[in-house]
A and B are shown apart, each in its own frame.
Chain A
């Protein structure tokens, strides 16, 4: 039976394998603490879980909500599209494929999402991904 700790470990490996090659921020909740070097990326990862009944039985499954933010500092701030229409699309396309979550060892199925939000702060483009996944029972 997979745990949320397993999911966190799987997600860390999958996120760090993205083309942006992000490293973990020192905090997953305070984004004012870390600096990001030009051309580099960092990420924050948050996972929460709850038990739910399967629709057709009394057995329970653990559904976890995974939320992560990948923050990339533009190498050339005046040319944001070099990233947003390049490497960022490569990573978003990979993450948006159902197999990206489903192929994680701890994940049985994708329940909802992934949903995306993209924003720019200063020279940093950050995209946020949220998905609900059922863990392997």
Chain B
């Protein structure tokens, strides 16, 4: 598995612990991006993990610091802003409780959170940026 794939697998594990009603497999957690309003009822709530990105900084003694980030879109339908915010809190708390993502990275944290709302629609999307660091 790729370095990014290993991190995303751990992130999915944390999210499933925070959102126990997430549908199994790719019905609930999907690497990639589709139009959220097109999600079927059986796919909700739904998380898209997309736009992974890596930055590398050179350190002394031939080392490098690898920073990885990925955006998570948490889609719900018919939930209030408060309900969705509580889901985002739960995800943050899970990652705060396992900052090494099971030893996959040196540290992981959520660097940005927000909620996107769409007038006239029942869907809301929570947007999180998960950032990790690992020295190699």
Contacts and interface: CB of A to CB of B under 8 A. Distances in A.
Interface of A: 31-36, 42, 71, 73, 77-78, 121-124, 126
13 contacts: A31-B60, A32-B58, A32-B60, A32-B61, A32-B62, A35-B61, A36-B62, A42-B61, A77-B106, A122-B60, A122-B61, A122-B65, A124-B60
Interface in B73-107: 103, 106
B135 A73 contact: no
Interface in B2-61: 58-61
A35 B135 contact: no
Contact of A73 (B58, B61, B65, B106): B61
A77 B61 contact: no
B60 to A, nearest CB: 4
Contacts of A31: 60-61
A126 B63 CA distance: 13
B56 to A, nearest CB: 12
Nearest to B59: A122
B13 to A, nearest CB: 20
A36 to B, nearest CB: 5
A34 B61 contact: yes
A121 B63 contact: yes
Contacts of A33: 62
Contacts of A71: 60-61
Q: Which 5 A-B pairs have the closest CB atoms?
A: A35-B62, A122-B63, A122-B135, A31-B60, A122-B59
Contacts of A126: 60-61
Contacts of B63: 35, 121-124
Nearest to A35: B62
Given A77-B135, A122-B135, A123-B135, A34 B62 contact: yes
Contacts of A36: 61-62
Contacts of A123: 63, 135
A31 B61 CA distance: 5
B63 to A, nearest CB: 4
